[in-house]
Structure formats: C-alpha cells, structure tokens
C-alpha cells in the first residue's frame, strides 16, 4: 500500500512536471519555428538570433521578478501566474503577422518560462525528504525531455503541412489543463512554516542576504555556472534545426534528425537521477558538463551524417542531464526565506547568457564564421562552468534544508 505522502509526492511531481513539459514544448517548438519563419518571412540570421534572445530577455526578467515574488506570496501562486502568462502569450503569438509583434509576445512568454522553472524546482525541493530530493528534482527536469520530444514530433508532422501557427496553438492549449490541476496543489510546507516577518522582508534585503558572507561563494559559483550553461544551451539548441539546414539538409530532414537527437535527452536525465544521490551533485554536474563540451566540439566539426547524429545524440544526453543536476543543486544553497530569491537571481543572471547565445550565433554566421568555431566557443563556455563547480562548489548531497 502506498502512503499518503508517497501519493501526494507523486502528484506534486506529476503536476509540476506537466508545467515543465509545456515550458519545454514552447522552447523546443520555437527552435523549429525560427527555421520555418526564416523561409516564410525572409529573416536574416541576425533577426533569427533576436527571436531567441528576446525570449531569454523575458526569462531573465521573469526569473528575477517571480523569484522575489515566490519568497513573498508563496511558490504555488507564482507557479500558477507564470504558467498562465506563457500559455496565453504562446497562443496569441500564433496570430502574429509581423516580427515586431512576435518579439513582444516572446518577451512575455519568456517571463512566464523564466519565472516558472526556478520556482517549480524550489517548490519540489522543499516538499521532499533530503535523501531523495536530488533524484526527484532531476526527474522533474526529465519532463523537459518529454516536452522537447513532443515539440519535435509536432514540428515534424504539423509545421510542414499546417504551418507554424498550428504548432503554437497545439503547444498552448494543453497548458490550461495543467493550470486547472495546479489550482489544487498545496504550497511548500517549508514556506508555510517560516515566520511571516521573514516573508515580508523587502526584496532589497533578500538580495543583500544572498550576497552576504555565508552565501557569497556559492552565489558566485552558481551565477558563473548558470551563465555558462544557459549561454551554450540556447546558443546551440535554439539553432539546432537551422544549423542542420546550414550543413546542407532540407528543413524536413533537419527536423527528423533533431527528433532523433532529442530522444537521447530522456536517458540523460534518468542516469543523472540515478547517480545524483549516489555519486553526488558535483560529480554529476562536472561529468555531464565535460561530456557536453566534448560532444559540442565533435558536433561542430562533424562532416558526415553518422558523426553528426552520434555527436548530436551525446550532446542531448549530457547537456540535459547536466540541466537536471543544476536545478537540483541550486535551491540547496540557501535557507527557505531567500531560496526563491537566490535561485531566481542565479537563473536570471544565467538568462543573460541565453540572450547572448542565440545573438552570438546569428552575428557570427552573418560574418561567415565557420560552424565548428562557433561550437568550439560553446564548448569552452561549458568547461568554464564545470571548473567553477570544481573549484568553488560544495557538495549538498542529502543536505537538510533549513
């Protein structure tokens, strides 16, 4: 017989995971839509880069604003607001006919996405016991792979026949079901237990506390790590279908190959979830980040289809496993009263990398810089993140949250 706690924990994981999956669907579909819009709207590579970057600007603002809000009004309420924001925005963007309006809506969609992810991982972290917290948060992150997989399937089967607008509508509608489920979700027990005066502390005091002496070292480490991971991820993955086209494949073939690569995300998450409570957070992060860097180097240099697919599969495997560990690791560095703020600030700074990554690719491609050089830059960025964890990070495996 399952205990009530086990049932509610699975319910929490399922409901939070659904929102996470729809986040991933939106980001995943965007990467395919950028490739489709380039043909339909005759976009330059710089304009293509701005679509991904405006999304990340919104994510940076959302992570900061909603991270602070989560420490004042609770994780659950922010969780609902952010899902509603990106669902409505995604649906409306299907009706745009100009790049300018599309970019404005992508900003608000990005706010919802950027706010939801750190708040969701904080809520789950605070709701499960220490001995399985890391595994559960990585499993939460694994819903991201499911969302990307659905995005790849929708893009492969829907965009060529029915257009990118239909794909956006399909990605927005199911999120309202997740919103309905989330209304019944209880808030974090740790947030409910902390003193009301701590919840009402000013945002400036909370930010100052994150940078105070007990936390400054881990804050520096997390900010470097988030920047490097987000810069490389959005630079590489938002451009993945377009890079495949640049390497000489048709739009439909590029969608097909990215779909194959996306399948490798799920085992990446599951192996990271298995290792994170056994080998620790630092081991998983460093190993998977180094694996990502090596895969990125080979993907950029691949000149044959077998090498391109193999390196792309490993790139998905290692990169998304590292993301799972990152979301498990980040909230464990702060006490409950500033956990949302600390996680949100780190994610917000990381989104600056998400702004620069797609822009970097767009401008370098326009300057006729070779793809292998661009992916080498991302490989170096990832190694810097791994080095920050190695030198500045502390192990938080089975650490009791306070």
pLDDT tens per residue, range 126-172: 888 878 888 888 888 888 888 888 888 888 888 888 989 998 888 78
* 190 found inside a domain: no
Structure confidence at residue 146 (pLDDT) = 85
* 217 found inside a domain: yes
Answer yes or no: are the C-beta atoms of 152 and 255 closer than 8 Å: yes
**CA Rg value for the chain:** 20
Q: Low-confidence residues of the chain, pLDDT below 50?
A: 1-4, 7
* 306 found inside a domain: yes
* 24 found inside a domain: yes
CA–CA separation, 158 vs 71, rounded Å? 40
* 233 found inside a domain: yes
* 3 found inside a domain: no
User: Which pair of tokens denotes residue 265?
Assistant: 């995300």
Q: What is the CATH number of the domain that holds 373?
A: 1.20.1250.20
CA proximity to 136, closest of 123, 147, 117: 123
Structure confidence at residue 7 (pLDDT) = 44
Q: Phi/psi of residue 40, each to 5°?
A: -75, -40
- pTM value? 0.80
* 15 found inside a domain: yes
Residue 401 gets which letter from DSSP? Answer: P
CA–CA separation, 140 vs 12, rounded Å? 10
Could you count the other beta carbons within 10 Å of the beta carbon of residue 225?
27
Residues 6+ apart with CB under 8 A from 363: 45, 46, 49
* 4 found inside a domain: no
How large is the angle between the packed helices 130-157 and 164-172, nearest 10 degrees? 150
Count up the domains in the chain and report the number.
1
Domain that holds residue 119: 9-180+203-392
Structure confidence at residue 288 (pLDDT) = 97
């Amino acid at each position: 017989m399952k205990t009530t706690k086990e049932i509610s924990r699975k319910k929490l994981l399922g409901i939070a995971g659904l929102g996470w999956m729809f986040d991933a669907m939106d980001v995943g579909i965007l990467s395919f839509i950028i490739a489709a819009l380039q043909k339909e709207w005759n976009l330059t590579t710089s304009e293509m880069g701005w679509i991904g970057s405006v999304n990340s600007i919104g994510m940076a603002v959302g992570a900061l604003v909603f991270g602070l809000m989560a420490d004042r009004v609770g994780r659950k309420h922010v969780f609902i607001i952010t899902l509603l924001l990106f669902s409505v925005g995604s649906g409306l963007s299907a009706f745009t006919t100009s790049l300018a309006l599309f970019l404005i809506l992508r900003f608000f969609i990005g706010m919802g996405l950027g706010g939801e992810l750190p708040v969701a991982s904080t809520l789950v972290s605070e709701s499960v016991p220490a001995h399985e917290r890391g595994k559960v948060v990585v499993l939460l992150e694994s819903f991201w792979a499911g969302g990307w997989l659905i995005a790849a399937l929708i893009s492969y089967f829907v965009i060529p026949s029915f257009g990118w607008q239909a794909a956006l509508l399909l990605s927005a509608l199911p999120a309202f079901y997740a919103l309905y489920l989330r209304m019944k979700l209880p808030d974090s027990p740790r947030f409910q237990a902390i003193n009301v005066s701590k919840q009402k502390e000013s945002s400036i005091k909370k930010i100052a506390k994150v940078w105070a002496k007990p936390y400054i070292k881990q804050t520096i480490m997390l900010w470097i790590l988030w920047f490097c991971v987000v810069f490389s991820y959005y630079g590489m993955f938002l451009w993945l279908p377009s890079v495949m086209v640049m390497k000489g494949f048709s739009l439909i073939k590029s969608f097909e190959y990215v779909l194959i690569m996306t399948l490798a995300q799920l085992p990446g998450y599951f192996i990271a979830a298995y290792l994170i409570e056994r080998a620790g957070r630092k081991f998983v992060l460093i190993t998977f980040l180094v694996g990502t860097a090596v895969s990125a180097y080979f993907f950029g240099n691949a000149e044959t289809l077998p090498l391109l697919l193999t390196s792309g599969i490993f790139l998905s495997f290692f990169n998304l496993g590292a993301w799972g560990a990152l979301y498990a690791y980040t909230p464990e560095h702060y006490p409950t009263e500033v956990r949302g703020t600390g996680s949100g600030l780190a994610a917000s700074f990381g989104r600056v990398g998400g702004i620069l990554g797609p822009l970097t690719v767009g401008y370098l491609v326009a300057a006729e810089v070779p793809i292998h050089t661009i992916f080498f830059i991302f490989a170096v960025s990832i190694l810097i993140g791994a080095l920050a964890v190695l030198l500045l990070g502390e192990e938080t495996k089975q650490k009791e949250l306070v």
